[in-house]
Amino acid sequence: MEVKENGLNKLPPGRVIDGPTNPMVTPLLTDHYQFTMAYAYWKAGKHQERAVFDLYFRKNPFGGEYTIFAGLEECIKLIANFKFTKEDINFIRQNLAASCEDGFFDFLRGIDCSDVEVYAIPEGSVVFPKIPLLQIEGPVAVVQMLETPFVNLINYASLVATNAARHRFVAGKSKVLLEFGLRRAQGPDGGVGASKYCYIGGVDATRWQCMLLAACLSMNIKFSALGANLMGFFTIDSMYRASKMLDFIRFGSNLILQEGYLEYPFVALILMPSLAHIWCNLDEIIDRSLRRKDGSSTCGDFVSLVQTWLTKIQWSNSLRGIFGETNQSELAAFTSYALAFPDGFLALVDTYDVMRSGIPNFCAVALTLNDLGYNAVGIRLDSGDLAYLSVEVRKFFCSIEKEFAVPGFGKMTITASNDLNEETLDALNKQGHEIDAFGIGTNLVTCYAQAALGVVFKLVEINNQPRIKLSEDVSKVSIPCKKRCYRLYGKEGYPLVDIMTGENEPSPKVGERILCRHPFEESKRAYVVPQRVEELLMCYWPGKSDKMRETLPPLKDVRERCIKQLEQMRRDHMRRLNPTPYKVSVSAKLYDFIHFLWLNEAPVGELQ
């Protein structure tokens, strides 16, 4: 168990943190450059000098004004298990210059991160450019070797979490958002990582996870937070490997009984099993029987009942003339799938023609299931005019509910996919639609609109001496020295500004006026009287210091933090087009120091 002191959590003696989720994340996940740098430090006798590095980004992605911070847990797992193996040392020796001395490899053998301190903004937080996401302090050669893996682990995680949050914002709170991206993800790691970080950003579930929930509920299985895995990681990518690698909920004996059913409005969205187009070529049905849901009897010829219902629909008063002969291969496929998954029947209805074949065939099967006590889930649209088709489908469902007195039929789920992105979601909302859930693949997991976040890792202090990186591009000038970072809130509860101060400056106080300055533009400044002050950087790895260590929270808490913080943001910061920039500032004292250091470090030109 975690031990709590003064409201913080410290890792008890002997407590072991699991290694990174991806076994490829080891000390060798780095650039050759990092080892040559480490050797140069060692050769100069400077490898033990105490250094502080900031990890941050310079610009919000996707043309927006906010970013979701993700990837911290994997960084902490890496440093908690940071150790070069004998094989690693041999590999490094083979790839460095022959002139490298044996003493350096002895140094590498003894390296761990026991003397490294990591301060970070909690994962799932809304963050902004220039503010350190992580502040890493330790022996310079060791921290230098953390640069590449840390940047790698934060970059994609934060980018895809932000992408998910933006899609969630456009889709709206009332709609179910599903991650369909495994087939288009950049390899297996991109697929698994996308599940985790899309969940943090607001995606509700994926195909595989929906199948688990619906299957469990259909069997009346009650389950606990499996522990917290079901509650804690609610998005499982549409592949079995994810459940193994990330220790997610697994179907079967791991489901533990407890009081009350887990209730989520979208558990019925069983998108897997979901009927694929290929099934529409399978028209031979061998076993035609289906037992009633209550077990009281068995229907011997489900297929004939489906045909009977199709005829009733075709000649019904309200639907007469909408369709004629439907595709029988499609009907056979729907029937076969319903026999296999009577409690989770969801059909892809655009293989031939949505309104003339797919929808009437689906309804015939769904009504037959209803006669036997089952409830079909709904349909998925994967092509065509999604807004128009969803409206027409809803009308069709409502007509059947009214004419045949089938309660709830008109409210069956309509799911849409087909290369959806922020723009198409926005367009659908403006057109008006009847879609309940959106399945988003390529544009979500690949972050199609932007390839990378642009995270950087910069030295800001060594041996207690501040360091600054200068550039002709002002946006690339770093903010020197070890800092503390705060978020200042206004009287309406919105964040007003993030401010960085020197490590030893007094903290901003509620009700006291504070001068907030743009780090580089002299004319941009404002006084703020905060109604609440939140310190951003927390200690997640104390090294050899006596500082208390923050616990890595379960994923559900990370998600809840993200949702809560997004709700606290002003709407003008969140809008898709021309969002208002959020203010990131420094204290007056830090501003003066930055520019003093800048003037001292910048070379003075000479005109002749």
Of residues 575 and 276, the one with the higher pLDDT is 575
Q: What is the model's pLDDT at position 212?
A: 43
In a domain, 311, yes or no: yes
Q: Which of 537, 437, 427, 544 is nearest to 142 (CA)?
A: 544
- d(CA 176, CA 550) in angstroms, rounded, equals 33
- d(CA 154, CA 139) in angstroms, rounded, equals 22
Q: How does pLDDT run across 429-453, given as a tens digit for each residue?
A: 999 999 999 999 999 999 999 999 9
pLDDT of 273 above 90: no
- d(CA 37, CA 51) in angstroms, rounded, equals 14
3-class SS of residue 435: coil
The string of DSSP codes covering 342-365 is: TTS-EEE--SS-IIIIIHHHHHHH
Q: Is the bond leading into 273 cis (omega within 30 degrees of zero)?
A: yes
In a domain, 550, yes or no: no
Q: What is the model's pLDDT at position 16?
A: 65
The mean pLDDT value for 367-396 works out to: 96
pLDDT of 260 above 50: no
Q: How does pLDDT run across 448-485, given as a tens digit for each residue?
A: 999 999 999 999 999 999 999 999 899 999 999 999 99
In a domain, 390, yes or no: yes
The mean pLDDT value for 146-159 works out to: 97
**Greatest pairwise CA separation for the chain in angstroms:** 102
Phi, psi of 440 (to 5 degrees): -120, 130
Q: Which domain holds residue 357?
A: 269-376+383-416
In a domain, 353, yes or no: yes
Q: What is the model's pLDDT at position 207?
A: 55
In a domain, 229, yes or no: no
Percent of the chain with pLDDT over 90: 76
CA dist 285 → 56, 280, 557 (Å) = 59, 12, 47
CA dist 376 → 113, 216, 274, 409 (Å) = 54, 16, 12, 9
Q: What is the model's pLDDT at position 17?
A: 86
Cβ proximity of 406 and 367 under 8 Å: yes
Q: What is the model's pLDDT at position 317?
A: 85
The mean pLDDT value for 223-232 works out to: 31
In a domain, 366, yes or no: yes
pTM of the model: 0.87
pLDDT of 223 above 50: no
Percent of the chain with pLDDT over 70: 84
pLDDT of 588 above 90: yes
Sign of the Cα pseudo-torsion (121, 494, 424, 274, in order): positive
pLDDT of 152 above 70: yes
Question: In this structure, what token pair is assigned to residue 150?
Answer: 């840390």
Cβ proximity of 111 and 541 under 8 Å: no
Q: E strand or H helix at 458, and its extent?
A: strand 455-462
Least confident of 6-15, 103-112, 377-386: 6-15
For residue 61, give the DSSP letter. Answer: G
pLDDT of 318 above 70: yes
Residue 461, strand partner residues: 52, 466
For residue 547, give the DSSP letter. Answer: P
Question: Confidence class of residue 84 from pLDDT cuts 50, 70 and 90?
Answer: very high
The mean pLDDT value for 305-318 works out to: 93
In a domain, 306, yes or no: yes
pLDDT of 225 above 60: no
Q: How does pLDDT run across 326-348, given as a tens digit for each residue?
A: 999 999 999 999 999 999 899 99
For residue 183, give the DSSP letter. Answer: G
Q: What is the model's pLDDT at position 3?
A: 33
Three-state helix/strand/coil letters over 79-117? HHCCCCCHHHHHHHHHHCCCCCCHHHHHHHHCCCCCCCE
- Looking at the chain, how many residues does it have? 608
In a domain, 180, yes or no: no
Question: In this structure, what token pair is assigned to residue 608?
Answer: 């002749």
- d(CA 340, CA 570) in angstroms, rounded, equals 48
pLDDT of 1 above 50: no
Task: Give, rounded to a whole angstrom, the gap between the first and last alpha carbons of the chain.
Answer: 71
Question: In this structure, what token pair is assigned to residue 126?
Answer: 């809304």
Q: What is the model's pLDDT at position 344?
A: 87
Q: How many structural domains does the chain have?
A: 1
pLDDT of 228 above 60: no
Phi, psi of 177 (to 5 degrees): -115, 125
The mean predicted confidence, pLDDT, of the chain is: 86
Q: How does pLDDT run across 182-201, given as a tens digit for each residue?
A: 888 888 888 888 989 999 99
- d(CA 277, CA 280) in angstroms, rounded, equals 6
β 346-348/298-299 pair status: unpaired
Q: How does pLDDT run across 39-49, given as a tens digit for each residue?
A: 999 999 999 99
The mean pLDDT value for 584-598 works out to: 97
- Could you count the other beta carbons within 10 Å of the beta carbon of residue 84? 20
